[in-house]
């Protein structure tokens, strides 16, 4: 009503209020009433802005490539920028009266495109496809030293290149070349793998043969050791048999000597007994037999004497009519015999 309006600005927007051509108020996050017919409001966004880009370039070998990326910037001097571009708000305070705010990102993209072309003019297609990181460093360095960026009061926060692609025809040609190289490397890998397999097989066969030879050598050594052990056992058995035979021979010799000695002793004893008996018989040649019998019975026990008495009775049986023997005598004789 009556041209008086109210405006409230976010903290990320720098506002300049001009009244009758003079700067009356400036700052971030302002809120105030103003008289619209005599007031001009300039609002410059201070937040960071992401600007995607995609454009075509040509390498040093005249090959077209497509570069896609994103640049991030922010305004650090709103007053300087407001003097170069028109950021004036309309009477409602919600829209710009000019399209200059929309042209600012395009100016930045154009500058990046110029810097990119200068760098790609020294790179071939193959090098350019692999130079994303180096391009980012050089473009950022060029933006930071650019007079236009400084004059606009801008600060570059970051730059990234998402992809660098050749044209479809060039891409297919590169793919074919790389494919052929990969197939060649695959063939070489197959050959190397087969060669390695053959070498491994040969090594395995050699190891098997060496193992068989080692096993046969071990078997031969074991057999030789067994034969040596058997020979040693037989030698021991022979020595033992020899010792036993020697012992038996020695024993038989000693037995022979013993028999000879015993025979000699028996012969000597027989000669002594014969001589004694001869002498005794010569001494008893003229003695009465009854005297000899009496002398022989001197050392006899009663049973023997009774036996002699019964023998004498037997010798004179024709002269004896009847003989009575008491039971007590028989019992006594029987007990002495037991």
**Domain ranges in the chain?**
48-166, 293-337
User: pLDDT 10s per residue in the chain (338 long)?
Assistant: 577 888 998 999 999 999 888 899 999 989 998 888 888 999 999 999 999 999 899 998 888 999 999 999 999 999 999 999 999 998 888 899 999 999 999 999 999 999 999 999 888 888 888 889 999 999 999 999 999 999 999 999 999 999 999 988 888 887 787 788 888 888 888 888 888 888 888 899 999 999 999 999 999 999 999 998 999 999 998 899 888 898 889 888 888 888 888 888 888 888 888 887 787 777 666 666 666 566 566 666 666 666 666 666 666 666 666 666 677 766 766 666 55
The residue among 115, 128, 121 whose CA lies nearest residue 166 is 128
Q: What is the Cα–Cα distance from 270 to 283, expressed in whole angstroms?
A: 20
* pTM recorded for the entire structure: 0.53
* Cα dihedral value 232, 234, 238, 241, nearest 10: 120
**CATH domain 48-166 topology:** Tetrahydropterin Synthase; Chain A (3.30.479)
Q: Which residues contact 254 (CB under 8 A, 6 or more apart)?
A: none
Q: What is the Cα–Cα distance from 225 to 233, expressed in whole angstroms?
A: 12
Q: Which residue has the tokens 């009758």?
A: 20
Instruction: Count the alpha carbons within 13 Å of 282 in the hemisphere toward its beta carbon.
Output: 6
Q: What is the Cα–Cα distance from 216 to 210, expressed in whole angstroms?
A: 10
Q: How many of the other CB atoms lie within 10 Å of CB of 112?
A: 23
Contact predicate 58/3, CB 8 Å:
no
């Amino acid at each position: 009503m009556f041209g008086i309006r109210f405006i409230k600005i976010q903290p990320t927007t720098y506002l300049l209020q001009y009244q009758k051509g003079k700067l009356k108020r400036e700052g971030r996050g302002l809120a105030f009433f103003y008289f619209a017919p005599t007031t001009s409001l300039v609002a410059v966004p201070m937040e960071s802005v992401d600007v995607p880009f995609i454009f075509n370039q040509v390498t040093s070998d005249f090959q077209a490539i497509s570069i896609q990326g994103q640049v991030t910037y922010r305004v650090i001097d709103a007053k300087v920028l407001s003097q170069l571009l028109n950021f004036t708000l309309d009477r409602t305070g919600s829209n710009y009266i000019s399209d200059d705010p929309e042209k600012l990102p395009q100016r930045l993209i154009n500058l990046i495109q110029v810097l990119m072309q200068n760098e790609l003019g020294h790179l071939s297609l193959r090098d350019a496809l692999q130079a994303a990181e180096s391009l980012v460093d050089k473009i950022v360095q060029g933006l930071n030293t650019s007079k236009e960026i400084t004059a606009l009061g801008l600060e570059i926060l970051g730059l990234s290149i998402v992809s660098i692609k050749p044209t479809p025809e060039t891409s297919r040609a590169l793919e074919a070349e790389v494919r052929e190289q990969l197939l060649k490397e695959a063939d070489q890998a197959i050959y190397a793998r087969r060669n390695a397999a053959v070498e491994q097989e040969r090594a395995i066969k050699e190891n098997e043969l060496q193992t068989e030879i080692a096993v046969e050598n071990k078997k031969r050594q074991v057999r030789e050791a067994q034969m040596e052990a058997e020979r040693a056992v037989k030698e021991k058995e022979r020595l033992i048999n020899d010792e036993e035979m020697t012992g038996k021979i020695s024993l038989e010799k000693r037995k022979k000597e013993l028999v000879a000695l015993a025979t000699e002793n028996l012969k000597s004893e027989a000669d002594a007994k014969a001589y004694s008996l001869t002498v005794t018989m010569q001494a008893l040649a003229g003695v009465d037999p009854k005297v000899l019998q009496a002398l022989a019975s001197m050392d006899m026990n009663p049973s023997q004497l009774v036996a002699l008495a019964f023998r004498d009775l037997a010798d004179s049986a024709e002269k004896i009519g009847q003989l009575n023997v008491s039971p007590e005598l028989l019992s006594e004789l029987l007990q002495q015999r037991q």
